[in-house]
Chains A and B, each alone.
Chain A
Amino acid sequence: MAAKGLQGFSRGLGSIRAYAGSRDPLTQCLAPVLSRSMATEVQMPSNASPYNFHALTSVVTENEFTPPKVLTTIHNFPTMEPVRLHEYSSKYLYLPIRKDLLHRAVIFEGDAARQGTAHAKTRFEVRGSHRKIRPQKGTGKARLGTAQSPMLRGGGKSFGPRHRDFATDLPRKMYDLAWRTALSYRYKKGELLICEDGMKVDYPERLNPDHGHMLYMKDIFKANKWGSKHGRSMVITNEYIEELFKAMETLGSEGIMKIGAEVDVKDLLSTKRLIIEQSALEQLLREHQSDLIPKVRAMV
């Protein structure tokens, strides 16, 4: 629409100039000839121009900016052999990065995690008699009331910490959106590695379960570049797998292993990458989609 308007205007200008040159008094334009056009000239797209919009759209489609579904690779644990591709909706793993939401979610979790047990006694809570410790007048010293005064040594604290609940509120939909934003962030950076269900390690038989399993797990982390030199990794499983978790007990410098129920937004953002079981990921997405699925009201 705008292009057509501009075209018309430029044609109009051209026609004005055409008339300005004529010397016929009937057709002579008495308006001053403008040496410069009022509108900025725009080079209109044509087949000869380098910007071939049709060619561009054939390469880059709208879907590539906001694809409806995104592809993820499902790997075999722990060899990380790609097994197959799986699709997830972009509303789960391709959300735009909202750092403000992530910040609010992390602060919300931190507040809820606070114990809030710090407590300082006030002058009314400090044990002791409430007797006036010296007369009002005649001592030559400052007037004093009780021994629990905050000005005195051993007295109470005026505005000290009180044990209280530091938890704050955050709308559930915002929290769920932040959760999926964290996963999307990981996906976009290529730091979300999804593994097949049933994550287990076939330890060699001759290894000592106490020390050998830990060393073998350390070798797995080293071979896959998951360890401390590569920013540490978090492994998330659906259930507690004893042989994996025990091996990771003393490998905190290399990574962390958690079950899905224990994970929060801060954990998703803490290590360099996430290695997650597919069923655990789907469970997390199911639990944090309140903004996508409306509440179903029970029919009375």
Chain B
Amino acid sequence: MRRIPRVNRSIDLLSSKYASTQSPSVCLGCRFQAASFSTSPSRPSPTSDEKIPITGRLRNKIWGTTEPPGAKDPYANDSLKTEEGETELVTESAGKTTKEPKLQELPKPKKHKKAKTWDDLEMVGDLQKMSLSGAKFKPFAPRTVVEDSHELIAALHQAVVDVFTLKNTGKPYSDLVRLPKKLMLDRARSAKIVPTEDGAALEYEEQGAADKVFGDVEVDAHLEDPASQAEVERNLVAKDSQRARDLVKSFDKAWLDVPLRDLDLKFALLKRVFRLTGVKFPDSQVQNLHTVRFILSKMLKKPEPTKLVGVLTRNVDLKALSNVSISPTRITKTAKSKKLGELKLINAELERKGLPVGVVRNQSNKFQIRSSR
């Protein structure tokens, strides 16, 4: 026996039944040694009549009664039933109890065949389109600016007809936004423009056409079949440059001299032109647009090239020289050998020898040596 008792277990620090005794026959070690006990859970006695599980006994102990409230077994199927027998989720109506839906058996998949290429596979779409969910922004002007000169002339003619129709019928210029956004053949040629001192007079082909300015729009809006409406618009739209050219030939040139003294009229006309063609006039030029001819000259004027290659390609004399070629980028050695035709011979020889053919950019835009196939 040790002179100084050492504890093997922390639980031995607890006082034992012999600690309080002062009998000299009990040694110190035994006095302070706790009785051995088992830390494993005890098995339920087989002779117990009640056969209450451990969870039940715990519940009894917590609540202090033999019949505690709540479910006896929280993990049983009838766990949600209260003492009254009513379920919280499953409603009983007319004595019928709804059963839980059975799991539907999924159809067995067909024999999976691993695809070697992405042909015929379902394309899901890119992340941006999925994120926008079809919610595309609609600007006031068209996304692509009209560049064809005949289409521009036809659009300007249509804009003049629209604006003066509103003015002559006494309607506000704000109604212009109700008109169709597209260049319409019938609208552009519906009236002959005759310049006057105050503005312009319109000679319509049909009687009462001035009152039907918004009639076409309403009829189109009520068409049930969107496909037929699109077809009607497609036939009317002067998108083809040939159709626009024919339309422009039918115009009398006097319409270009229509004066634009009224500022509101000028603003409405420029707004309509912007809506139809996407051509916007800088604010500093608005004051100097005195007639329709001024507007047309600005519209038809091509923008100055921003890069040197644009300036050089415009130079007719330079283009005529047979020993001069203009390239927008630096001409590399590879480009030169490609033009000569020796690059393909070099690559063929490299492939034959099994050597890397060249350097390409991979998906992460980094240079990668391309091996021969």
Contact = CB atoms under 8 A, between A and B. Distances in A.
Given A80-B140, A212-B132, A70 B284 contact: yes
Interface in A184-202: 187-190, 192
B263 interface: yes
B169 interface: no
Interface in A201-254: 204, 206-208, 211-212, 215-216, 219-220, 223-224
A216 B136 CA distance: 7
Contact of A71 (B135, B137, B271, B287): B287
A216 B140 contact: no
Contact of B140 (A70, A81, A190, A207): A81
A2 to B, nearest CB: 31
B131 interface: yes
Interface string B280-292: 1111111110100
A210 to B, nearest CB: 10
Nearest to B141: A80
A82 B270 CA distance: 9
Given A64-B287, A85-B263, A190-B284, A204 B135 contact: yes
A81 B272 CA distance: 10
Interface residues of A, number: 33
Interface string B254-296: 0000000001000100110010000011111111101000000
Contacts of A81: 140, 177, 271
Contact of A220 (B137, B274, B284, B287): B137
Interface string B112-133: 0000000000000000100111
Contacts of A206: 133, 135
Given A190-B282, A215-B128, A219-B132, A78 B137 contact: yes
A254 B78 CA distance: 61
Interface of A is mostly: mixed
B283 A71 contact: yes
A171 B143 CA distance: 45
B335 to A, nearest CB: 25
B291 to A, nearest CB: 10
A215 B131 contact: yes
A56 to B, nearest CB: 14
Given A71-B263, A73-B267, A188-B284, 4 more contacts: A79-B138, A190-B285, A216-B132, A220-B137
Interface of B: 128, 131-133, 135-141, 143, 177, 263, 267, 270-271, 274, 280-288, 290
29 contacts: A59-B290, A67-B287, A70-B284, A71-B263, A71-B287, A73-B267, A73-B286, A78-B139, A79-B139, A79-B140, A80-B140, A80-B141, A81-B140, A82-B270, A82-B271, A187-B284, A189-B282, A204-B135, A206-B135, A207-B135, A208-B131, A211-B131, A212-B132, A215-B128, A215-B132, A216-B137, A219-B136, A220-B137, A220-B139
